[in-house]
Amino acid sequence: MNEHIQYAAQVKPTKRQLSVQEMEFYSFIHFTVNTYTDEEWGTGKEDPQIFNPAQLDSDQWVEAVKAAGMKGLILTCKHHDGFCLWPSAYTEHSVKNSPWKDGQGDVVREVSDACRRGGIKFGIYLSPWDRHEPTYGDSDVYNEYFKNQLRELLTGYGDIFCVWFDGACGEGPNGKRQVYDWDAYYALIRELQPGVCISVCGPDIRWCGNEAGHCRSSEWSVVPASLQDNEKIHENSQQQDDREFARKFSSEDEDLGSRNVISEARNLVWYPAEVNTSIRPGWFYHASEDDKVKSLEELLHVYEGSVGGNATFLLNLPPDRRGLIHENDVLRLRELGDAIRRRYSVNLASGASASASEVAEGHGPEHTVDGDRDTFWAPAKGTEQAVIELDLGEEQTFDRVILQEYRYSQRIERFTLECQVNGVWTTIYNGTVVGYKKICGFDAVRSRYLRLNITESRWWPNLSAFEVYSSDTNA
């Protein structure tokens, strides 16, 4: 067996990466002066007086998020326009100069407190690009400014699960472009909140490569280490790394972790994907989009493709000018949560009997149906092809299977699902990677016996969960 493949099978996630992966589904909140100018990108010249969400109710936001089954909320504390949703000591371009609460308000405080009350995690987005701040483009000075604002957010609002960066790097008020000191930003975050995941332009969670909710058919968590640098190197941003290999792969590529790709990489890292999209066409609220909220079917498709495709799902919800999630969005979120719960509420394989073609000591097939993510089935080391079979006890009708590998590696490369109908084994699904979670959807079948045939894997496969569901596919 290729030593490089054995190396890939042993690359592991950090605790902070696992904590976000196991959240699965969380929200983005885009809210700033753009909400009042009807723009997507602000200019930095907006008057703070336009910001006045008279009915702002962050508890309403959190309830909408929870209704959909989301476990966290990331707030755009500062977008490209530079307007701060907290009373930053380092700029006058903030809520402290708005009429909202007579300049005494703090959106970040209200939202972070609401998240804690509601039992979900709180994260922050802070745009490095700042079209208002006059020092932007004076790189050393602005980098200190940016770190000062990071420090305010990381020390004043309790535990934060994620700092979400993008690499937007346009001109500032002085016409200059900024050279971001990413390493210094990361070091400050690690110092102040070591458990924080630094996402997208960061080393912990990577961008899926698009904002449309497109999910790869094969999403690898183990990828070339150069991808961690690429997110910081944009055509309109830094151009400091000229290594040929570093530019060979980017987040937009369809294949980031196959054997062919990783065979060319000297260093591999655990760098899982996040799929992000908005519930509406835009990222900020526009009244003209009130009737353009994504359909339930589209959101379910993205959910199953992302959460069920070894990625996390970040869904944007833009509050309106009142400071509320619009009624249309709230309704769709509730429908989405209800549909997910309905589809995945009863595991027909819970307590089923399981057998396997081969078993490593201490890793019997019963661990795939015990509901314990800390146990798993595995064949002997070096066995790359193996079969596990479930006996559901009686015939059941089902149209979804969930597979999960043990959380500390990703090894399965190709598999088929089969069920026995009238004594004949019939293929119902062909798949590639599994990883944290794979949702296999197919036309409903009725059977007592189900078989997973792993045809390709790295070193030896492992499987922590083999679940079977019957969903209302018309939901």
Q: Are strands 121-126 and 386-404 parallel, antiparallel or unpaired?
A: unpaired
Cross-strand bridge partners of residue 377 = 463
The pLDDT tens digits for 205-217 are 998 766 666 778 8
- Give the amino acid at 393: G
Residue 266 DSSP SS3: coil
Listed residue (285, 289, 249) closest to 269, CA to CA? 249
**Helical H runs in 48-181?**
58-67, 107-118, 139-156
Against a cut of 0.85, is the pTM above it?
yes
Produce one character per residue of 119-150: b if its CB has 16 or more CB atoms within 10 Å, e if not: ebbbbbbbbbbbbbbbbbbbeeebbebbbebb
Nearest-angstrom CA–CA distance, 230 and 253: 12
H/E segment holding residue 186: helix 182-192
Phi first, then psi, for residue 187 (nearest 5°) are -60, -40
pLDDT, one tens digit per residue, over 377-432 is: 999 999 999 999 999 999 999 999 999 999 999 999 999 999 999 999 999 999 99
Q: How far apart are CA 247 and CA 236, in angstroms?
A: 15
**475 residues of the chain, pLDDT tens digit each:** 588 899 999 999 999 999 999 999 999 999 999 999 999 999 999 999 999 999 999 999 999 999 999 999 999 999 999 999 999 999 999 999 999 999 999 999 999 999 999 999 999 999 999 999 999 999 999 999 999 999 999 999 999 999 999 878 877 777 878 999 999 999 999 999 999 999 999 999 998 766 666 778 899 999 999 888 766 654 433 333 333 333 345 667 888 899 999 888 889 999 999 999 999 999 999 999 999 999 999 999 999 999 999 999 999 999 999 999 999 999 999 999 999 999 999 999 998 999 999 999 999 999 999 999 999 999 999 999 999 999 999 999 999 999 999 999 999 999 999 999 999 999 999 999 999 999 999 999 999 999 999 999 999 999 999 999 998 644 3
389: left (phi > 0), else alpha (psi -120 to 50), else beta?
beta
The Cα–Cα gap between 143 and 263 comes to 37
Q: Please report which helix (H) or strand (E) contains residue 209, including its range.
A: none
| DSSP secondary structure code for residue 86 in this structure | S
Q: Give me Rg for the CA atoms of the chain.
A: 24
CB 101 within 8 A of CB 111: no
The four Cα atoms 150, 154, 156, 158 give a dihedral, to 10 degrees, of: 160
Q: In degrees to the nearest 10, what's the CA dihedral of 345, 349, 352, 358?
A: -140
Q: Give the Cα-Cα-Cα angle 202, 207, 211 (nearest 5 degrees).
A: 140
Buried b / exposed e along 432-468 (16+ C-beta atoms within 10 A): bbbbbbbbbbeeebebebbbbbbeebbbbbbbbbbbb
Query: Using CA atoms, how far apart are residues 275 and 28, in angstroms rounded to an integer?
Result: 12
Task: Enter the tokens of residue 83.
Answer: 């307007």
Distance from the first to the final alpha carbon of the chain: 46
Burial (CB count within 10 angstroms: exposed 0-12, middle 13-18, buried 19+), residue 302: buried
Residue among 443, 437, 434 nearest 416 (CA): 434
Tokens 């990108």 locate to 41
- For residue 238, the model assigns a pLDDT of 32
